[in-house]
Chain A
Amino acid sequence: MATLQDFRTNEKAWWCPGCGDFGVLAAMQKALVAVGANPATTAIVAGIGCSGKIGNYINSYNLHVPHGRALPAALGIKLANRDLMVLVAGGDGDGYAIGMGHFMHSLRRNANITYVVMDNHVYGLTKGQTSPTSEEGFQTKTSPQGSIERPIHPLMLAVSAGATFVAQGFSSWQPQLASLIQKGIEHPGFSLINVISPCVTYNKVNTYDWYKKNLQNLDEDSTYQPTNRARALARLHESDEMVTGLIYQEESTPYEALIPGFRETPLVHQDLNVDQATWDKILSTLE
């Protein structure tokens, strides 16, 4: 059984002291241990941004791809070897700006992939510009007079796009976050865990204290059942997505289990030679 130590590398994380991403990293490692993952059979794909560094700090097979492209890369890995545990980590810019197309289609495709988004409402690595989740009026170097665009609501988007697992965590609330990531990994389909991961350097508005004051913890609301898409949407709308916990989950058959003729044995373990009878059958369609 792997331990937390097994999922660590000898690299020192270079995020700013106090960055929410430390909490996300810790929770991911805890979740991997909790589900009994093995570093050798775990693949983590990361995008570009401060969040994208996370792969450097988790001992597993890591693929670090161009900005916004983490989700399709993860799909390729999952289809190549469906025995692997595949996780994706990225930021709000990576997932909800440049990668938005892949985000929406990954939700409806529903391959068994766990997507952890480190959402800080700001671009950090490029030193402080507006992000798609920045609030209206948010002042940055690219919006000195305040952002005039409405923010993306990733959770409502996900629920309405046909997601089968949607959750939100807060990097400071470790036990809940680790548990949400664990549930996401265990969910047989695409799981979105949006994580509020404050940026201490470039976001002086959405701070730890601000989130602690404004977030509602769904775990403390015994009346909320995460099984109804319409109610999930209503709750997200009423709270302006300021909730943590499991927001929506439904029974799911992952994409890879629905592909016609796709085998349970991973592609990477299959004999690649075609037998004569199959080849003749293929050629007969051209006669």
Chain B
Amino acid sequence: MLAWKIGGDQGEGIDSTGDVLAIVANRMGYYVYGYKHFSSRIKGGHTNYKVRIATTRVEATTRRTDILVALNQETIDRNAHELDGGLLLADSAFNPVLPASAKAHLLTLPLTEIAKGIGSAMMRNMVAVGASAALLQLPIAPFVEYVAAKFEKKGEAIVEANRKAVEMGYQRIVDEYAALLTYKLGEPMPGDRLVISGNDAIALGAIAGGCRLMCGYPITPATEIMESLAKWFPLVGGAVVQMEDELGSMTAVIGAGFAGARAMTATSGPGISLMQEAIGLASVTEIPAVIVDTQRGGPSTGMPTKQEQSDLLALLNGGHGDTLRVVLTPGSVEESFEDAVEAFNLAEQFQTPVIIATDLSLSLWQQSVERSKLKGPTQPIRHGVTFSREELLTLGEGVFQRYQITADGISPRSLPGEINGQYLATGVEHGPSGKVSEDPINRTQMMNKRLLKLQAIHQVREGFKYEGPEEPELILVGIGSTVGILREAAAHLEAKVGVAWFRTLSPFPTERVQSVLAVAQHILVVEQNALGQIRQLMTVHGVADARFDSFLKYDGVPFLPEEVVARAKPLLNLLEVY
């Protein structure tokens, strides 16, 4: 496994350069994971993109960098410490200086000059791609092939120039630095994989799950979901509406759910705060709705481009009044796809808002995903209980009871357009017919009905997953993007360590959590917020005890597997002492 990183100013094509490396390596059969450091501005400011390339699945970033490509001195100053004897390739144009403390081999190439020689300084990054391929000892042909396809539409001259840029970068490294070419990735694992992010996976899952309407308001890091759907929906007859705000986005989704369509919105912290108002409406009117919250640093504007998992309690309990929502928490890109499909089924089946809680790292960072995990055409569509047109006709006029009390709390729906199915769906407390009622007995019944119906979710879905040995000394518990980090950490800990993660945070899967954790000697809850929100929830639900410890981080930077290893080791050693 190798970690390659490129750094420069925002607006210098760092992203697309990293993408080229990730996509080509993926096509060659390597597993990739890309991590971007960026800030909330368009041009200027340091940015970097780290790609891990491996022969097995990788779903976390790491501290170490093996190869650093620096397009300016700031990149060296900020990142050279990650190189532990690694290679630093710098553009000689800025007279790169290696800090005295850095342990690295400095390689310089006139990247800009070479590009200019071919025709334009714009091709500097392509020279860097070629050079990187050489440093990674990867064959040049797949890179040339990709670049040719990428620039095909721009004409033969552009293709030729870019091809040349890649080849010259490659050749100069081979010619000038052959002695330093010691990195070797190992044999690739050929397969049919795509490099996608969690946001891509959610947009794909939404389409596979029958969603045909997305009403949203742009916000980092959720916007790509809306953008992807705007690109794909015309192919399936769906629509994206860019609303005036999140209040409108959420309410429009509820309107569509009332009318029988599968609709969604996607947002992040500030948007979810605004949506709480209407989420309450969906709860009390029992209208299906799907909401994605790609969590970022909060509160308020917080850190829009930084990783955090601090919306969890708000997702469960935000807004006024007693409501239960379904909150799904995918722990990987693949699970993001699965949960997006399933969210629309659960929303209709249980007539409830369903929130998919991801986080910035999970939603933005791309990784290799098996195409076979992204099945579109065969997904089951479950609409839940409804009155058919025929049943309503037989029922007669004015008889239909939208909110009739049932054993499982779920009342069959009618949809606008169906004769004899008319009713009032109101945010005001109502009786079985839908009519407004403040009767104390009715109120209690209706509240109980809404709280009861969601409990059955655990019968259709495992709310807490576990991977690891049967009798673990330690279980690492996490959520969202942290899960992949915990997996890598567990693999590095030379002990019986398992990883457990929530798939359903609400309703809380109490029994399942208890049974998974029963055998562990020690439990470390790893979460990216300051309040220990997952641990709090576990405590409230009575599953936390003296075996529990927390590892919290709220600096906006994802956990590194190395950090989790370091935090977990003393726990394991402690056990040995006893």
Contact = CB atoms under 8 A, between A and B. Distances in A.
24 contacts: A40-B419, A40-B422, A45-B255, A61-B422, A62-B423, A62-B434, A64-B425, A75-B215, A76-B257, A79-B256, A80-B263, A81-B415, A84-B416, A265-B237, A272-B262, A274-B208, A274-B236, A275-B377, A278-B236, A281-B235, A283-B194, A283-B371, A286-B194, A286-B196
A254 interface: no
Nearest to A71: B248
Contacts of B422: 39-40, 59-62
Interface string B406-441: 000000000111111111111110000011100000
A33 interface: no
B377 A65 contact: no
A66 interface: yes
Contacts of A225: none
B213 A76 contact: yes
B79 interface: no
B235 A278 contact: yes
A45 B427 CA distance: 12
Contacts of A38: 419
A11 to B, nearest CB: 7
Interface of B: 194-196, 200, 204, 207-208, 210, 212-213, 215, 231-239, 241, 243-245, 247-249, 251-263, 277-278, 280-281, 285, 371, 374, 376-377, 379, 381, 398, 415-428, 434-436
B377 A279 contact: yes
Interface stretch (A178-186, A196-204, A213-221, A255-263): A255-263
B376 A274 contact: yes
Interface string A72-115: 11111111110110000000000000000110110000000000
B43 to A, nearest CB: 27
Contacts of A73: 251-252, 254-255, 258
Contacts of B254: 63, 65, 73, 76
Contact of B277 (A66, A80, A256, A282): A66
A273 interface: yes
Given A76-B261, A77-B258, A101-B245, 11 more contacts: A11-B435, A64-B427, A69-B281, A73-B254, A77-B256, A79-B239, A79-B252, A261-B236, A282-B376, A283-B374, A283-B376
A83 B418 CA distance: 12
Interface string A155-183: 00000000000000000000000000000
A265 B237 CA distance: 9
Nearest to B419: A40
B461 to A, nearest CB: 20
Interface residues of A, number: 60
Contacts of B436: 56
A152 interface: no
Given A40-B422, A63-B425, A275-B377, A80 B260 contact: yes
A55 B423 CA distance: 10
A262 B237 contact: yes
Nearest to B374: A283
A230 B129 CA distance: 59
Interface of A: 10-11, 38-41, 43, 45, 55-56, 59-66, 68-69, 71-81, 83-84, 101-102, 104-105, 256, 259-263, 265, 267-268, 270, 272-276, 278-279, 281-283, 285-287
Contact of B376 (A74, A105, A279): A279
A267 B215 CA distance: 14
Contacts of B235: 261, 278, 281-282
A43 B244 contact: no
Q: What 5 A-B pairs come out closest when comparing CB atoms? A: A76-B255, A261-B234, A272-B210, A80-B261, A279-B376
Contacts of B233: 261
Contact of A80 (B213, B374, B434): B213
A84 B259 contact: yes
Contacts of A63: 254-255, 258, 285, 424-426
Contact of A261 (B196, B237, B417): B237
Contact of A105 (B231, B238, B244): B244
B487 to A, nearest CB: 24
B208 A76 contact: no
